[in-house]
Each structure stands twice: as C-alpha cells, then as structure tokens.
Amino acid sequence: MSQPIADLAALEALYGQPGAASVAKEVTRLTSGYRALIEASPFFVLATSGPGGLDASPRGDAPGFLRVADERTLLIPDRRGNNRLDSLRNILHDPRVGLLFLIPGVNETLRVNGRAVIDVDPALCDSFAVDGKPPKSVLVVTVESVFFQCARAVLRARLWDPTAQVTRASLPSTGALLAEASAGQEGGEAYERSLNERIPKTLY
C-alpha cells in the first residue's frame, strides 16, 4: 500500500538532518575551486520551469565553452540545436535556472542555482563564435547558490567505468525512436542516415 510523505516534518524525521559539511559547502559565489570545476566541464544539464512544466536540457562543448565572467556571473553560448527552444521559452516566463555540471573521470558534480536572461548583444555573441559562427544568443546567469555534490550517485552509476558502457547498437536507433513516437510519420532508416550526415556539419 502506498504511504506518501505529506509534510516537511515527516520528511525530516525520515531522513534526519544534513551534516555540517553538506551545509557549509553551499555558497552564493563561485569560489576559485568551484570556478575550476566549471572551467574543466564540457557538459551540464540546464533545468528550467515554464507554463508547460519543468524541463532539463543537455548542453555541451569543449571545456571552457561556458565563461565565468566574475564570481557571480556565468555566460553560456546557446549553441545550435533543434529550435524547440524549450529552455529559452521557460526562461522568458521564469528566469530561475539550475545547472548540473559533469566532468568526465571526476565523480563529484557541481550544482549552480540562479537566474538567467537571454542576451543577443552582437559583440557578446561574436565573442563566442566557433569557426566563424556565433551563437544566436548568450545566457547570462546570475549565481545565487553553488555547491558540489558528493561522488555517490556517479559511483553507483559507474558512469565513467569503461566496462559499464552500453553499446549504442544494443538500443533502438534515433530513427526507430522517432518512427515509434510519431506513429511512422517521421523517422526510419532514411532519417537515421540523414541525421548522421547532418550532425557533424551543424554543430555550430
């Protein structure tokens, strides 16, 4: 039988209080150590909230693609994607964002919470150009809290363990996934071939 937790007191009684280190590690600025983690990260997940609900979007590029302007400000180029604009639509409605950074080979992750605006200043966008192609916009994130997450989740997942890696061919292809989701209106082998040819040419 389901036994849902319905209030904070019950939740805290179940789990207990966080340790002193878990509280002390959260700060309102980017320390030199936290900055080093961000600058070493090639990948993060951007969480946003909007009228349609919540969204979590992957963002990645070479380490250092996300610029630390100062201890309270992050600059994030919005690289080429699928033009769904889920994250950007949400930010226009609710500027609150959450970022979860991962670094290959490092078991700790970094969590940043703050508020974002979408900046289209040409000089700013041009400063993030790759192969002469600037992003259409840059997210300017004002940091409100930042802290590292301990290694347990990554260790349990064996995320960086080569022996735990899954062979892509053992799972449905992107063409098959799309064909199933769209009831055959999109996808299939032709889509798969086109996508594999298109992605390397449209990274920026």
61/64 Cα distance (integer angstroms): 8
Residue 77's pLDDT is 98
- Model pLDDT for residues 103-146, shown as the tens digit of each residue: 999 999 999 999 999 999 999 999 999 999 999 999 999 999 99
Q: Which pLDDT score, from 0 to 100, does residue 76 have?
A: 98
Q: Which helix (H) or strand (E) holds 43?
A: strand 43-50
**Per-residue pLDDT, 44:** 98
Tens of pLDDT, residue by residue over 47-78, are 999 999 999 999 999 999 999 999 999 999 99
State the pLDDT at residue 106.
Answer: 98
The model carries a pTM of 0.94
Give CA–CA dist 119/51, Å, rounded.
21
CA dihedral (77, 80, 83, 87) positive or negative:
negative
Alpha helices in the chain, H assignment, sequence order: 8-15, 20-24, 32-40, 86-93, 122-126, 152-157, 174-181, 189-198
- pLDDT bin (cut points 50, 70, 90) of residue 163 is very high
> Across the chain, what does the average pLDDT equal?
96
pLDDT band at 161 (very low <50, low <70, confident <90, very high): very high
Classify 181 as helix, strand or coil. Answer: helix
Looking at residue 117, its pLDDT comes to: 98
- How confident is the model at residue 165, as a pLDDT? 96
